[in-house]
Amino acid sequence: MNKNMPSRVLVVCLGNICRSPMAEGVLRHHIQSMGLRIKVDSAGTSGHHQNEPPDLRAQQEMRRRGMDISSQRSRPLVRKDFDRFDVILVMDHSNLEDALAIAGPRTEWRNKVGLFLEDSEVPDPYYGGASGFAQVHDLVDSAAWRWVEQWKEHQDQP
């Protein structure tokens, strides 16, 4: 996956109501704090929650951390996203397989997809309690900061 500074980033989980909306909010926060101009969106590999707001527990955790994601709405990942976005970051290996299946055989599309946590997965907190959402926030916050620092570094290079 290309690690140069993108202009558009898509974050993907299964339903686009827990992990990816939180990651979208955190990425947007860090991008703005670093003064970068990168558009961020999120989607789900399943359309089951289409047009729903993020899970209330995700909204509460993000609000607790000073970020409002209540205006986000779930949408499915579609083939057109592979043209529109420079980088597509997924939450787990199942999302990775699903995203690659949607991308099809086009190498340039497949090369845009990678794990949000480069060497691990972000667990799905949907069936757990509030502590799972706090854990997800901590994981995506740390990873988002690393992504943004890396993109900033590439922007600053001549």
Instruction: Write the CATH number for 69.
Output: 3.40.50.2300
Is 68 a member of any domain?
yes
- Number of domain units in the chain: 1
Is 2 a member of any domain?
no
Residue 12's domain comprises 8-156
Is 84 a member of any domain?
yes
Number of helices (H), then strands (E), belonging to the chain: the values are 6, 4
The rounded distance, in Å, linking the Cα atoms of 96 and 79 is 14
pLDDT digits (tens, 9 = 90+) for 110-158: 999 999 998 899 999 999 999 999 999 999 999 999 999 999 998 766 5
**pLDDT value at residue 158:** 58
What proportion of the chain, given as a percentage, has pLDDT over 90?
Answer: 91
pLDDT digits (tens, 9 = 90+) for 46-90: 989 999 999 999 999 999 999 999 999 999 999 999 999 999 999
Is 3 a member of any domain?
no
Is 1 a member of any domain?
no
What residues are annotated to the active site?
A: 13, 19, 124
Is 97 a member of any domain?
yes
Predicted TM-score (pTM) of this structure: 0.96
